[in-house]
Amino acid sequence: MPFTSTHKGEAINDGIRESEARARRKAAGNRRTVRSLHARGSAARGFTLLETLIALIITTLALAVLFHGGLGGLRSVQATSNYEQAIARARSHLTLAVHASPLVAGEWQGNDGGGFTWHLRVAPIANTTVRPVTALTPRSFPLTLYSVTVWIGWRDIYGVRAVHLDTQQIGQGAG
């Protein structure tokens, strides 16, 4: 019978060992749970340095794109303004040349101010003689068709720009 008692003792000892092992595992599991809760709690409290740097880089890139778009818009507005000024100046020079009496062939150029320069060219295209139909005297007079061209130029960040206007005007020819 000592055999059975020893066996019972071992069985009791094994049972105690198993319950101790279960308690240890449970305590270790609780420590892991506490650690994971602690790790989650620190992440919930704020952002890491890496997350902050990535957010800063994304924000910087977005601002750079917006700045580039705004700068492009300002350049377009400036270019449009320069073209409008150049067209107005060219029309003014063209009007002065066409209404000059008499219209004279030649080339002129100058500084128009504000960074604009102008160039005017008046050249004869064709000559003819006209006789009045109802005139009492058979007197005829010469007419000349002139080509009138105006260039207005200016510099901007892309180089030299220019506006070019052409017209034709009838003027009195040399008699």
pLDDT in tens, 104-121: 889 999 999 989 999 999
Give the Cα separation of 141 and 99 in Å (integer).
Answer: 20
96 shares its domain with 161: yes
What is the extent of the structural domain holding 101? 72-172
Other CB atoms within 10 A of residue 149 CB: 18
39, 78: one domain: no
Nearest to 114 by CA among 145, 152, 71: 152
Number of structural domains found in the chain = 2
| In-domain check, residue 57 | no
Q: List per-residue pLDDT tens for the chain, 175 residues long.
A: 444 445 555 555 666 777 787 877 777 666 555 455 555 555 567 889 999 999 999 999 999 999 999 998 998 898 899 999 999 999 999 998 888 778 888 999 999 998 999 999 999 999 988 877 776 767 788 889 999 999 999 998 889 999 999 999 988 876 5
Residues 110, 161, single domain; the answer is yes
Residue 17 CA to its chain's centroid (Å): 78
What backbone phi and psi angles, to 5 degrees, belong to 112? -95, 0
Q: Are residues 81 and 28 in the same domain?
A: no
Phi, psi of 110 (to 5 degrees): -175, 180
Q: Measure the CA dihedral 124/129/134/139, to 10°.
A: 120
Distance CA 42, CA 47 (A): 9
Evaluate whether residue 154 is within a structural domain. yes
- Let me know if residue 158 belongs to a domain: yes
Pair 151, 162: CB distance under 8 Å:
yes
54 within some domain: no
- Give the Cβ contact number of residue 152 at 10 Å: 27
Domain assignment present for residue 121? The answer is yes
pLDDT of residue 17: 76
Same-domain pairing of 90 and 166: yes
CA proximity to 118, closest of 85, 76, 146: 85
